[in-house]
Amino acid sequence: MKTILFNGKVYVEREKFVEAVLIEDGIIKEIGTNEEILENTGIDERIDCKGNTVIPGLNDSHMHILSFGERMYQVKINDCKTIDEMIERCRDFIKKYPDRVKNGLHSQGWNQDLFVDSDRMPTRFDLDKISTEIPVILERVCCHVLSANTKAIEMLGLDKDSKQFNSGTFEIGEDGYPNGIFTENACSYVKEIIPRFSVEEREKMFLEASKYAIEHGITSIQSNDIGTIVLDSQTYFNMFHKIYDENKGLVRYRHQVSFNSPKDFKEFIENGEYKNGQYKNNSFLSLGPVKIFKDGGIGARTALMRDEYNDDPGNKGFEWLSAEEMDEYCKLAKEANIQMATHAIGDDAIEKTINSYEKAFIDGENKLRHTLIHCQITDKELLKRIANLGILVSYQPIFLDYELHIVDKRCGSELASTSYAFKTLDDLGGKIAYGTDAPVEDCNPFPNIYCAVTRKDSKGYPEGGFYPNECVDIYTAIDAYTEGSAYMEFMEDKKGRIKPGQLADMVVLDKDIFTCDPMEIRNILPLMTMIDGNVVYRKEI
């Protein structure tokens, strides 16, 4: 099938645009002026872009789409201004959707730093006001901390004599009993209390979340779903195979796979999906890196820091994996030729992850394209080392929407000034991709791009931007979200640019993202999304 897009402002590369694109069987064949492209014959469809801007399909380099789909079915608590407001919303949700909560209420999104009356985390005593009859589990926005009610704690079998979990903790209240606040891997045990959705329900959620993604210009996702929210990994690998074998998948999907230990990783290499998985050479479904956690998050003060938190003396954060465990993961990955992607936010976590990566380089180079996910708190020397070693970074600029309000307080202004260093790392030649970490943030890419370009929150604060020397220009942001993310999945020769030979994944925008007021970028919406040369979403152009 032959298709032409014409009368567009089609982005090719920095400061270079064309008017029209010829597509044949899902591949870009030719780009040029309207006159050059429209003279082709045998065209099946001509799409008039009416002067609108066209960019490559956006590629979210790190998210959790199954969790994002699940969140669409949960009570919304991410914008609650008080604990009491959150309690009231949850009560109302239980009354309105009794069938959804018959086994328990689970949601995610609260943030104690946004509460106007107190900055404390909710405890079991707060959640008991929602219900004492069913378990109630409410995760912090970052998913590194959660609150549970007394019913949930009882179902876990915890009391004042209970031992702490491995790689995670629960807080003890003044009465000597768990107070309902759990951190890091302890959260995984709590969430097991509420029965999981069925495979059929997960499939429906995935397809609905995928629909939302393409409506917002996302054509590829690199998603960490297997091994995180599901225990029976093979069941969900099979679910994805079924979806894509039946041609129901709407977006290009690349697995980022988590394991509980190097032992589990080795088992999957020798006997699991990394050995037995069948992936067609069509780029719609692929098996990507092992994804592990080195630390927690800044908001929860669990990111692993070299120095103690300014606003929490004595606390340097939480280390998920020891150096020995990290080294073992890297050794196994090297032997099996598998990429690694590590959640590392604090400066100590980043440094230790780099150390483990470097030990397992092939011929002294990062040939497997090991990646730092988030990579937020850095000094200048860390940034130089990342760039010099060719270690990739998956940044989430949208995190600044909230964290620009707390990072000075958490880390001090000197370290904050060299953190979220999007421009410095790019100037050093670093390999950068963008993502949203949805459902931690919405997967809509345009607020993410807005934060990269302006370094302001959604209300335009602060004037001039947060350490504005780290603002990037719009070309850099678009390239990170397209070519940069494609590089992270070894597909830069197949997608990420609107050039001959590349996959025909494109988005037509309702505003010119290259010339509009930067404040307007966050509100941009696609008029059309194309994947593999097929229009998968269209509004009136």
Task: Specify the pLDDT at position 477.
Answer: 99
**pLDDT score of 541:** 82
Predicted confidence at residue 166, as pLDDT, reads 78
- β-sheet with 45-48: strand ranges across: 27-32, 20-24, 2-6, 45-48
Say if residue 55's pLDDT is above 70: yes
**Cis ω for the linkage preceding 195 (within 30 of 0):** no
**Residue 221: strand pairing partners:** 60, 253
Overall average pLDDT of the 163-171 stretch: 86
Tell me the average pLDDT across 525-538: 98
Copy the structure tokens of residue 476.
Answer: 């850099």
- Alpha carbon separation from 42 to 1, 411, 532 (Å, rounded): 9, 62, 19
The residue that leads in pLDDT, 449 or 71, is 449
Tell me what pLDDT residue 140 has: 95
In CATH, which of 3.30.9.10, 3.40.50.10490, 2.30.40.10, 3.10.310.10 is domain 2-56+500-538? 2.30.40.10
Q: Which pair of structure tokens corresponds to residue 29?
A: 């064949």
Position 232 scores a pLDDT of: 67
pLDDT greater than 80 at residue 167 = no
Angle at 453 between CA 506 and CA 11, to 5 degrees: 30
**In the chain, where are the structural domains located?**
2-56+500-538, 104-191
Residue with tokens 């050039």: 499
E strands of 237-391, at which residues?
A: 252-257, 285-293, 340-344, 371-374
pTM of the model: 0.94
SS3 528: strand
- Is the Cβ–Cβ distance between 192 and 175 less than 8 Å? no
Average pLDDT over residues 203-232: 91
- Report pLDDT for 229: 53
For the four alpha carbons of 226, 76, 409 and 472, in that order, the dihedral sign comes to positive
Contact 342, 371 (CB under 8 A): yes
Average pLDDT for 148-152: 97
Closest CA to 288 of 395, 394, 387: 394
pLDDT tens-digit map of 21-33? 999 999 999 999 9
Planar angle of CA 60, 61, 62, nearest 5 degrees:
95
Cα–Cα distances in Å, from 377 out to 144, 256, 530? 17, 23, 36
Q: Does domain 104-191 have CATH number 3.10.310.70?
A: yes
Does pLDDT of 92 surpass 70? yes
pLDDT (tens digit per residue) in 477-507: 999 999 999 999 999 999 999 999 999 999 9
